[in-house]
Structure 1
Amino acid sequence: MSTPLEIKNLGLRLPITEQARQIAQRFSEIQSTPEKAKQVQLNTLAVWVVNDYCQMMDIPTELDHSDSWNPVVQVMANVADLVLPEIGRLECRPVRSEAQTCFVPPEVWDCRVGYVVVEIDDALQSAQLIGFTPAVTTEELPIAKLLPLEDLLDHLYTLRQASLLPALDGLAAGAVEAAVNLSQWLNDTFETSWQAVESVLNPDRMAPAVSFRRVGIDEGTTPELTPSRIRRAKLIDLAVQLGLRQVVLLVNLQPEASEQTYIGLQVHPAAGQPYLPSGLELAILEPSDAVFMQAQSRQADNYIQLRFSGKPGERFRIRITLEDARYLEEFVI
């Protein structure tokens, strides 16, 4: 196994510009505590340096659209994301010199396409991109387990190519049908492929109590989706290497007085399977095909879920991937 020193020697050192330090200082000055101010300052510098690296590698970025560049989100969360159009959000986690591990808050475990660790020197004059990992499952990420930056480029290239594949690439037929109109569901009008939950999902799986992962827009304030509102399910075949693997996609709708509609998307194992296959990913794509939210199953997860809200007329797509199989379906609210 590589040592942290060996990993760092393979990294790339870049200067931190005066402009970056000024922006980081400005963001930090609006924080409520010295600890939060230092956190935001280091997060900002890490994102800036990774953005510089991406520009050097001709990887498009949208720095201004990143949560880490939003003062409101900075106050509420520990985020250091960088938006990569048509790929997703890359997390840029800062560490100080001689660190053996990198702290990754649980709030960013499920919404990122990868994690880059950036060592920032004490004088804030330079930073070293130490390495990356495509996923995390623990708050303390060992530096010694990071992959080299070359693997990051390969990883991002693969994700970019996958986003450009035509909808028929290894998908079920539902991926190229007309968009599912969720507003019609509120009038009890459903597409024939979407059935009552009870006819697709076993009753004992309709309200799992343990072993689940959830990502939401604001878990502290979002109201719980009531099972009695609108719920429909669909059986999906994923053509994996060793044959078909079936899962169930479940959609919950809950209209709100503000004309917002809260939407819950769940993926469950099909009948006869106690758990989802490890590594199955559920993602929500914006109209540009950029990843808005995503969650990935781990060992012994009996379902995964994403929750968000939208307004009438807004469109989004869901993507379910497992190994080389990919399923897409478009929705309009």
Structure 2
Amino acid sequence: MTFKFNELMVIFPEQIWVELSPEKKQEAWLIVSSQLYSNAAAQRNAYLNKLCLDAFESWLKDDKDLYHGFQLLCQPNELPSFWEILNGTELSLGSNRLALIPCEKSCLQEFRIQQEWVDIPQMAANYYLPVQINLAENWLRIWGYTSYEQIRKQAIYDGIDRTYVLNGEDLITDLNVMWVSCSKPAHHLPEIVRNFINLSPVQVEELLEKLSKTTAYSPRLNVAFPEWAAIIASDKIRQQLYQRRLLCLLEKQQAPQENKLGVNNLSQWFENIFEDAWQSLEMLLNFDETTLAFSFRNNSGFNEVRVTGAKVIDLGMQLEGKGVVLLVALTPEDNQKVNIRVQIYPTTEDIYLPSNLKLVLLSESGKILQEVQSRTHDHYIQLKRFKSSLGNRFSIQVALNDVSIREEFLLEEPIGF
């Protein structure tokens, strides 16, 4: 059963509910689009955090006493340097620090807080607020809160994605308790003693070089946490990281045309070599949300696939910054040909693809060989299997309304079977 916004407010009156008008969503997206991010995932993260921050501030204005103490803990122009790599926004109410942590999940069994917001002294908060965002139904809600002390006592640390995990049932649902606390002087956070390191200039440069490389996701897991914490705890170095990630993206975009087109050599995929934001499906599933993983792993058609390349396709405002995942699965045959299957899945917690999304197979000359279009409740769409021989080129086009993206492929050299 699906409840309307007004009905949800009655069922959960102790929670904060904010309606997201199309105008507010558009305004937030335009602001985020005017900022710079190195990949679609970071831009999407920024969009959710911007919606969350704006909605919370708008709601807070109704309480003049609370709003009087409202302040961001960084300058607005510094927010992109956080949202490029982290999920969350910190602010203060009086002398208390609050962290807003948005999430699009529909099933709220747990509250995950990235380790940086807890273990880095300059970033730790007194209170953490989980914010559920439902873009399809145009609302968000704050469904409780937790304190720094409670996280230390009850949360479980997940080393795989470096998050503290608190059972949803352990959240404090009466937000009035927190508002009363915020009207009083804050309790000092316990002194945090962590094995952080003092980086030399040479170490900083080496880490920046490594972390600045273009990736389809945040590099926060690419180095050990003590080194990562030392990088982002410094406002100056964090800004350098942000700027250098953008510079790497710009250099890639300004590369010669033949490189920009990025013809994907499928033969290299069998050696686990991917280019131009492509990656193995296994790598993508390590960083993506559960919907894609569940859908793919329950698709028996891929049982005999040798290798699958995956790429998040960003269609901009057509999908409100949300991407879709293009999968190209390869199965070699004994005649130097490759059997190919192409599919598109939704990302994040979406169940269905957007309607009228087109997936097209084109020949080297641009002739349409196959075309399929999504309907209202399609979990994924796919082309009919086809084969490619040595030296053949083909293209895959993904299109929605007046926006389209094309990827070109080539089987360049013999494959070792």
Q: Fold match, TM over 0.5?
A: no
Report the structure, 1 or 2, having the larger helix content: 2
TM-score by length of 1: 0.41
Larger strand share, 1 or 2:
1
Structure showing greater Rg: 2
